[in-house]
Amino acid sequence: MVTRKCDSDGIWEQPDTSLCTGVTITPATHQLDNLAKTTTNAQNAPGIAKKLSNLTSAAEYFAAVDVYLTVDVIDNLLNANYTNTTSIEVANNVLKSVDNLFNVERDVLVASQKNGQTASRLIKIIDQLAMAVETQNETREVETDNFVISIVNLNTSAYTGISFSVSDNDQNNFDNDYSSSELNTKSSIQLPSSLFDGHRFQDGSSRAQFISYKSNIFFKAVGAALSDDVNQTLNNVTSDYDINNDTIYGVLNSAVIGASIGDLIISDLGEPIKINLTWQRGNLVNPQCVYWDYSLNDDVGGWSTDGCNVSGQSSNNVTTCECDHLTNFALLMDVYGTASEFDEGHQKALSIVSYIGCGISLLCMLLTLITFLAFRRLRKDNPTKILMNLCFAIFMSLLLFLAVSFSVDFAPIIPELCTTMAVLLHYFLLAVMTWMALEAFNMYLLLVKIFKTYIRHFMIKLGLIGWGTPVVIVAITLVIDIDNYGYHNNICWLSRYAFFAAFLAPVCLVLIFNTVIYILVVHQICSLNSKNMSTSDRYGKAAQLRGSVSLFVLLGITWALAILAISEAGLIVNYLFAIANTLQGLFIFIFFCALKKDVQNQWRDTFCSSCCLRGSETTDSPSTSAKKYLPHGAEYLPQNRCYDNTASSHL
């Protein structure tokens, strides 16, 4: 049981956790608890700050409650430091304490962030410390093992711009030239000459604070806590790709560098701030310029792209960003290789194309299934039965895709629903690929191996393979780790490695298999001796070839474009993928349903069950071309006259 008291001034005191038996504590916990409960003032602040600095020197052994209590003590010290006289000694010891907290174990830091938002508060504390640092000279620098605070006094009446850079050996430099950019810098910020437009200063001077982070662990801890992924190690790439928020998802792949002007809020600049950031790893793609927005995720904080964009990229993995405000900046990069590198307009256009195409495909798939289910004569052969299974798999995958897309806002709130939808979407997409492979296999049996192959219970066996194989893959993925399914990449889908192993790999295998089969089929058709085949056989085999090749082109090319879209594909490839993938249902309906003569005849006979008009011609004598299609003894029925449906079916 945790208790906290409300004092006589109506202010909540610190929580009393002394009765908590399930909380891991260390030798420092009780001392930190006593410091947090002590009312801090100007007289005792130096002693508290010194003791805190000593306790945090063993921060690598801290438990989550220790981190929480330490941040509480730091908040108390800073509040007392601002309300009373400024103490350089207090500020220095607080700086040491904050620096020591960078050594806390990652899982411990994430746990304390989840329960007490400690990492978010520490990021704000470092900004407060930058404001608290005093400088009597033009510049001052306070360096710790994990971050550097640099202060420079600016003469606003003669200000022409300034550049702040961090070199490869972590040396900080100032240059009174907005266009200056060192080639050997790890990161830099260039503040424009118009920075102070709209701001007036009585003494004609102001100060600029720059913060350069050598370690990004606080930012990573916030992201990991938001994504509820505590069990990854810091050296594993999956430990920091989970840094996400409402707008973006990716890996933090640069140092974090920040700037501010006094206590001013600098935003909506006409001339942008330029930030150069060097990649920390070169195996990622799609750099996104982001800034730390303290208001995101209910004031927990998170990375946002608002007001920032990529303006250039050098050959040595340095990205240039332009932003219209001041704060902490960094690069987020894509782990999947699928994060959009296009502007918001193209992203919206691609979404609209996808939704419209999915809607059309769903309708067409439904009409195709209704057609084949309504007329038993149309589904008597195996190729049609295979096509029906494929259509059902496509119908369900499109339906689930739309459901997942429209429920994305509820996915983080209801993780079980998100996991279920991800499993079903993965299953039916695999079913689509499996039935594509079975379509190719059936063509191989018909045209390559033997012309008339009989396999007992053929469709039952195909059904077990077509619907059973995806079950096996999904089951293995679930057994390995149920967290492979869930809220990943801002959608209910597979995690990174599960995506490559359980989805992309099967897709590639099916495409390779289908390509080989269709090459064999085309070779067999082309090598047939037309002299030994009747006209009907040649027409039949040609029709089968056209149908199978059409299906392969429509579905195979679609998934080939999908693989290209996973990599650094261009805008055209992404539009082609969106159009082809979502309209595949329309193509199947047109080529395998609407244009087939037997399907047209079945629907015509259904709508003309009693009598109908056969055409607009009024002649009562058959043409020569019409007579040769009449069976022996059949009577020609004149135009504009009713005829018996049985006769029409016979004809």
State the CB neighbour count (10 A cutoff) for residue 188: 26
SS3 content of the chain, % helix, strand, coil (to 5): 50, 15, 35
Q: Average pLDDT of 604-626?
A: 51
Confidence of residue 467 (pLDDT cuts 50, 70, 90): very high
Residue 137 has what DSSP assignment? S
- H-assigned helices in 217-263: 217-226
User: Could you tell me if 553 and 522 are in contact, meaning their C-beta atoms sit under 8 angstroms apart?
Assistant: no
Dist. CA 5–CA 8, nearest whole Å: 10
- Given this model, what pLDDT does residue 614 score? 47
Whether pLDDT at 121 is above 90: yes
Confidence of residue 540 (pLDDT cuts 50, 70, 90): low
Whether pLDDT at 46 is above 80: yes
Residue 516 tokens read as 């080989």
User: Which residues face 486 on adjacent strands?
Assistant: 493
Q: Would you identify the CATH topology of the domain 1-133? A: 1.25.40
Of the listed ranges 111-115, 201-205, 388-392, the least confidently predicted one is 201-205
Whether pLDDT at 569 is above 80: no
CB under 8 Å to 348, separation ≥6 — which residues?
none
Residue 186 tokens read as 């790890």
- Given this model, what pLDDT does residue 469 score? 95
Whether pLDDT at 108 is above 60: yes
Percentage of the chain with pLDDT > 70? 70
Strand segments (E) across 29-171: 139-143, 147-155, 162-167
Confidence of residue 447 (pLDDT cuts 50, 70, 90): confident
- Given this model, what pLDDT does residue 237 score? 33
Strand segments (E) across 495-557: none
**C-alpha angle 546-514-476 in degrees, rounded to nearest 5:** 140
- Written in H, E and C, the secondary structure of 540-601 is HHHHHHHHHHHHHHHHHHHHHHHHHHHCCCCHHHHHHHHHHHHCHHHHHHHHHHHCCHHHHH
Dist. CA 368–CA 389, nearest whole Å: 11
Whether pLDDT at 456 is above 90: no
Mean per-residue pLDDT over the chain, rounded: 76
- Given this model, what pLDDT does residue 563 score? 59
- Given this model, what pLDDT does residue 561 score? 62
Is it true that 1-133 and 344-600 share their CATH fold?
Answer: no
For residues 241, 246, 248 and 254, what is the CA-based torsion angle, rounded to 10 degrees? -60
Dist. CA 330–CA 336, nearest whole Å: 19
User: Which residues face 327 on adjacent strands?
Assistant: none
Sketch the domain layout of the chain as residue ranges: 1-133, 135-335, 344-600, 612-651
- Given this model, what pLDDT does residue 639 score? 40
Residue 60 tokens read as 């690598």
Antiparallel, parallel or unpaired: β 205-213 and 147-155: antiparallel
The more confident residue out of 91 and 136 is 91
Residue 280 tokens read as 């920390």
Strand segments (E) across 156-237: 162-167, 172-175, 185-191, 205-213
How far is the CA of 393 from the CAs of 33, 279, 387, 424, 503, in angstroms?
60, 42, 10, 11, 15
Percentage of the chain with pLDDT > 90? 18
Of the listed ranges 9-23, 461-475, 562-576, the least confidently predicted one is 562-576
Angle between helix 415-444 and helix 535-551 axes, rounded to 10 deg: 150
Residue 339 has what DSSP assignment? S
Confidence of residue 475 (pLDDT cuts 50, 70, 90): very high
Reported pTM? 0.53
Confidence of residue 82 (pLDDT cuts 50, 70, 90): low
Of the listed ranges 201-215, 258-272, 583-597, the least confidently predicted one is 201-215
Q: Average pLDDT of 611-625?
A: 43
Confidence of residue 125 (pLDDT cuts 50, 70, 90): very high
User: Which residues face 292 on adjacent strands?
Assistant: 303
Of the listed ranges 9-13, 159-163, 288-292, 436-440, the least confidently predicted one is 159-163
Which among 618, 556, 544, 615 is positioned nearest to 581, based on CA atoms? 556
Greatest mean pLDDT range, 11-25, 476-490, 617-631 = 476-490
Is CATH 1.10.760.10 the classification given to domain 344-600? no
Confidence of residue 529 (pLDDT cuts 50, 70, 90): low
- Given this model, what pLDDT does residue 162 score? 84
Whether pLDDT at 357 is above 90: no
Whether pLDDT at 392 is above 90: yes
Tokens 């303006």 sit at which residue? 311
Confidence of residue 113 (pLDDT cuts 50, 70, 90): very high
Q: Average pLDDT of 365-390?
A: 87
Phi, psi of 143 (to 5 degrees): -115, 135
How far is the CA of 389 from the CAs of 29, 275, 363, in angstroms?
63, 54, 16
Dist. CA 473–CA 368, nearest whole Å: 28
Residue 592 tokens read as 């395998």
Q: Which amino acid, 472?
A: V
Dist. CA 584–CA 389, nearest whole Å: 15
CATH of domain 135-335: 2.60.220.50
The more confident residue out of 558 and 439 is 439
Dist. CA 409–CA 420, nearest whole Å: 15
Whether pLDDT at 181 is above 60: no
